[in-house]
Chain A
Amino acid sequence: MIEQPLLIAEGLSKNYGARIGCRDVSLEVYPGEVLAVVGESGSGKSTLLGLLSTELEASAGRVSYRLRDGRLADLASLGAAEKRLLMRTDWGFVRQNPADGLRMAVSAGGNVGERLMAVGWRHYGHIRDEAIDWLGRVEIAADRVDDDPRAFSGGMRQRLQIARNLVTRPRLVFMDEPTGGLDVSVQARLLDLIRQLVAELGLAVIIVTHDLAVARLLSHRMVVMRHGRVIETGITDQVLDDPREPYTQLLVSSVLAA
């Protein structure tokens, strides 16, 4: 069984002037796999996510992605149009602040339908049906389809963001602290939903979180970052239950029953 990685990062570095955002990070993500990137604020995990998703330009290193036709492409070599097509069809990006990932003045249906319209859907009825179907999958009632997200709770907004991203059946989704800022009970519901959808759709996910419990619940593998470097990697339960690096031990011991 020969498995090919979906995304490969090699020697990624990012400097902000003299300050280091990320240094010499290499990793691979396979189809259907959830990779958690954990670390404290300032550890470089969000920078890494930006580099992997090409929202940030790397100072050094390279990110390659396996396109749907099987070709492994250096993302820097893709044209702007090709890259944007990739980002709105084959990728998703769920952001911590829903206002950054949603159009707050556009209805829930319009938010979900945008990607469909971007790839050429031109039948209102079909777009709307698909949007309602996806709202259902993220447990938003069909009668909210015409409400805009400003009328939604924090948890609903995040679920809407997920529907908006998944409607084009992406193969890779980036998540930046998707449960940050939510109440614990709301978090649990969202986590469970993400867990289900990931399994059901066979998504590959790169999730950045400072919450080890989130990493434990969702991810297969994890990388621990500190000072812009990856200091430890492994199967999630192994890193959490038998942390090797002093910093990881500190991180794990600082958490209540992760």
Chain B
Amino acid sequence: MATKPILSVSGVAKTFILHLREGARLPVVNGAGFDLYAGECVALGGPSGAGKSSLLKMVYGNYRVDDGAIRVRDGDEVVDVATAPPRRLIRLRDTTMGYVSQFLRVIPRVGARDVVAEPLIHDGVAPEEATKRAGELLARLNLPERLWALPPATFSGGEQQRVNIARGLIAHRPLLLMDEPTASLDAANRAVVVQLIEEKKRAGVAILGIFHDAEVREAVCDRVIDVTSFGQMAA
């Protein structure tokens, strides 16, 4: 385990202000703090509504941070997601952070295999090589080959999620954020995802995720951070 954390969250606070509801304040987290090291997989725990998903999105920069710091190591640099300018954040996502969400955001007209290959091509891998590796990954996730060329818009929830997992895992990112990656998968495919996560860990990737499935969580996670402890104290 590396001596320096790849992700260091400290004193993070977030409150949604709902202007359309007379400025109602919706506290999410307060004083969140934890570290994450290379090669470990950490689950965010706590009941529904405790702010697990929001915290994950803040780490990715998808949600803004009101207070505190989210420091991510990017090579020799450390970038604070809470304050980094947008372009730095975009670059951080390109080099360091991957995000696997529950839902696939469909891109019109692009076939499943190309959707998966895209991050690799973006990283500079030759298109033929990227497509080949995308096919291999989809095969491991048991997506029938006849679907590879089709845009995933019409796929079932489970099929879409497998495409999304493949897209999220295909490129190397030292920090992976996973939001219920196995939610609508059957047992066989859950097992594949567990395998894939294990491989990532062995490659030194740090994983922060939300895993509702206890079996999966126990299989891959090294520890659990209880988000409830960060919640609503200051509200």
Q: What 1/0 mask marks residues of chain B from 54 to 85 whose CB sits below 8 Å from any chain A CB?
A: 00010001111000000000000000000000
| Any B CB within 8 A of the CB of A189 | yes
Segment from A57-65, A77-85, A101-109, A246-254 that makes contact with B: A246-254
Segment from B104-112, B140-148, B156-164, B195-203 that makes contact with A: B104-112
| Any B CB within 8 A of the CB of A238 | yes
Residue of chain A at shortest CB distance from B93 = A235
Instruction: Tell me whether B20 and A250 are in contact (CB under 8 A).
Output: yes
Residues of chain B within 8 A of A245, CB atoms compared:
19
Q: What 1/0 mask marks residues of chain A from 115 to 143 whose CB sits below 8 Å from any chain B CB?
A: 00000000000000000000000000000
Instruction: Tell me whether A237 and B109 are in contact (CB under 8 A).
Output: no
- Residue with the greatest number of chain A CB neighbours at <10 A, chosen from B16, B64, B107: B64
Residues of chain A within 8 A of B110, CB atoms compared:
192
Interface residues of A in 216-249 (CB under 8 A from B): 216-217, 220-221, 233-235, 237-238, 241-242, 244-246, 249
Candidates B63, B86, B108; contact of A241 at CB < 8 Å: B63
Would you give the shortest CB distance from A69 to chain B, in whole angstroms? 24
Instruction: Tell me whether B62 and A238 are in contact (CB under 8 A).
Output: yes
A142 to B105, CA, bound (A): 34
Would you give the shortest CB distance from A7 to chain B, in whole angstroms? 14
Candidates B20, B63, B86, B90; contact of A242 at CB < 8 Å: B63
Candidates B18, B20, B64, B107; contact of A195 at CB < 8 Å: B107
Instruction: Tell me whether A242 and B64 are in contact (CB under 8 A).
Output: yes
Would you give the shortest CB distance from B183 to chain A, in whole angstroms? 19
Candidates A192, A220, A238; contact of B108 at CB < 8 Å: A192
* Chain B contact residues: helix, strand, loop or mixed: mixed
Candidates A220, A246, A253; contact of B90 at CB < 8 Å: A220
Residues of chain A within 8 A of B169, CB atoms compared:
none
Would you give the shortest CB distance from A40 to chain B, in whole angstroms? 16
Instruction: Tell me whether B64 and A244 are in contact (CB under 8 A).
Output: yes
Would you give the shortest CB distance from B97 to chain A, in whole angstroms? 12
Residues of chain B within 8 A of A216, CB atoms compared:
105
Candidates B19, B63, B87, B107; contact of A249 at CB < 8 Å: B19
* Chain A contact residues: helix, strand, loop or mixed: helix
Instruction: Tell me whether A189 and B62 are in contact (CB under 8 A).
Output: no
Report, as a range, how many residues of chain A touch the other chain: 20 to 34
Q: What 1/0 mask marks residues of chain B from 6 to 22 whose CB sits below 8 Å from any chain A CB?
A: 00000000001111100
Residue of chain A at shortest CB distance from B109 = A192
Would you give the shortest CB distance from B64 to chain A, in whole angstroms? 5
Residues of chain B within 8 A of A221, CB atoms compared:
86-87, 90
Instruction: Tell me whether B62 and A237 are in contact (CB under 8 A).
Output: yes
Would you give the shortest CB distance from B113 to chain A, in whole angstroms? 15
Interface residues of A in 160-201 (CB under 8 A from B): 188-189, 191-192, 195, 199
Instruction: Tell me whether A188 and B19 are in contact (CB under 8 A).
Output: no
Residues of chain A within 8 A of B109, CB atoms compared:
188-189, 192
Would you give the shortest CB distance from A211 to chain B, in whole angstroms? 13
Q: A191-B108, A192-B110, A220-B90 are in contact. Are A235 and B61 (CB under 8 A)?
A: yes
Residue of chain B at shortest CB distance from A220 = B90
Residue of chain B at shortest CB distance from A216 = B105
Instruction: Tell me whether A238 and B63 are in contact (CB under 8 A).
Output: yes
| Any A CB within 8 A of the CB of B165 | no
A246 to B41, CA, bound (A): 38
A188 to B63, CA, bound (A): 27
Residues of chain B within 8 A of A55, CB atoms compared:
none
Q: A192-B109, A253-B20 are in contact. Are A238 and B90 (CB under 8 A)?
A: no
27 contacts between A and B (CB under 8 A): A1-B91, A188-B108, A189-B108, A192-B107, A192-B108, A199-B122, A217-B108, A220-B90, A221-B86, A234-B64, A234-B86, A235-B61, A235-B86, A235-B89, A237-B62, A238-B61, A238-B63, A238-B64, A241-B62, A241-B63, A242-B57, A242-B62, A244-B64, A245-B19, A246-B20, A249-B19, A250-B20
Interface residues of chain A, those whose CB is within 8 Å of chain B, are 1, 3, 30, 33, 188-189, 191-192, 195, 199, 216-217, 220-221, 233-235, 237-238, 241-242, 244-246, 249-250, 253
Q: What are the 6 closest A-B residue pairs judged by CB atoms, nearest first?
A: A246-B19, A188-B108, A242-B63, A192-B109, A235-B86, A192-B108
